[in-house]
A = this chain, B = another copy of it.
Amino acid sequence: MSCKTILASKVSASFRNQIKEDIKERNIKPKLVGFLANEDPAAMKYAEWTSKTCAETGVEFELRKISKLELEEKITEANDDKSINGIMVYYPVFGGKQDLYLQSCVSELKDVEGLCHKFVHNVYHNIRFMDETETMKCIIPCTPLACVKILEYIGVYNPVIPYGNRLYGRTIAVINRSEIVGRPLAAMLANDGAKVYSVDVNGIQVFTRGTGIKLAHHKVEDIDATVEQIIPQCDVVITGVPTPKYKMPTSLLKDGVVAINFSSSANFEDDIKTKASIFVPSVGKVTVAMLERNLLRLHDYQNDLTEKNKN
């Protein structure tokens, strides 16, 4: 069996070290506030990781446990509090559309998760800077960004190809089309050149880059195909189905596939290593590193330390 298992802790190590050094060298003390308004075990675990990683890297982290109905007001207060550099919320809170409303209540300048409408919109439209002079890079939703960083780490992104095109020729399946992870991830991978099959209970869509469309750098089509038909064509399969009941059948995967799971449940079967060349069983620790990376970026924007001003 020659499958290589890559742990998120390994991928995140270099990011964590870089963040730690940066904070130490510059003698700054960025502060992140996390709001926990649910009893979801996955959210609580994620909060623990955030706390632990922040302590290791020199980020001040404060977990605020509050009730659902206080949340919007507490976000508003944190938006206005200059001692806070970043705000995150452990979802789900209400679970439905109200959560999407709440995501946009976080100020753009403090949105470490990259989930407010502007940032998500920019992902779909392949807009990579917040400002016209291109000194402030956009904040990218954390979990999709973590998946991209993992794909870079394991060599799926080909650095020989010019930036913005490094997935050209790759076929990738993303099993999840949530507004928080699956849909933006499919768009990002397509914007970088991949052909992406986006799969959820409502059907299968293909995300590919259009040609010459002004803003929308990828286009989306519904296709009339089955998982059984598309999975054998995929070089990379990324799963994120939030239940242990869902399993991607190993028998469908092509030999040497790259298998990545971002669900808190194991979505690949136990024999995945008999087929995959690379297997990444979870991404959570990379997500937390991306949170911190976004925090540092926002800290600098708040203090007007854009690339231009730093040089």
Contacts and interface: CB of A to CB of B under 8 A. Distances in A.
Given A69-B220, A97-B97, A98-B179, A104 B76 contact: no
A124 B98 CA distance: 12
State the copy count for this chain: 2
B216 A179 contact: no
Given A69-B221, A100-B100, A222-B69, A105 B121 contact: yes
B216 A101 contact: no
Interface string A64-104: 00000100110010000000000000000000111111001
Interface residues of A, number: 29
7 contacts: A72-B216, A73-B216, A97-B100, A100-B179, A101-B117, A104-B117, A105-B121
A215 interface: yes
A100 B120 CA distance: 12
Contacts of A120: 101
A166 interface: no
A77 B205 CA distance: 23
Interface string A177-210: 0110001000000000000000000000100000
A216 B70 CA distance: 10
A225 interface: no
A213 interface: yes
Nearest to A69: B220
B97 A179 contact: yes
Contact of A98 (B73, B183, B213): B183
Contacts of A216: 72-73, 76
A49 to B, nearest CB: 25
A145 to B, nearest CB: 18
A-B pairs with lowest CB-CB distance, top 5 = A104-B117, A97-B179, A100-B100, A97-B100, A73-B216
A253 B179 CA distance: 41
A179 B101 contact: yes
A72 B124 contact: yes
Given A76-B216, A117-B117, A101 B100 contact: yes
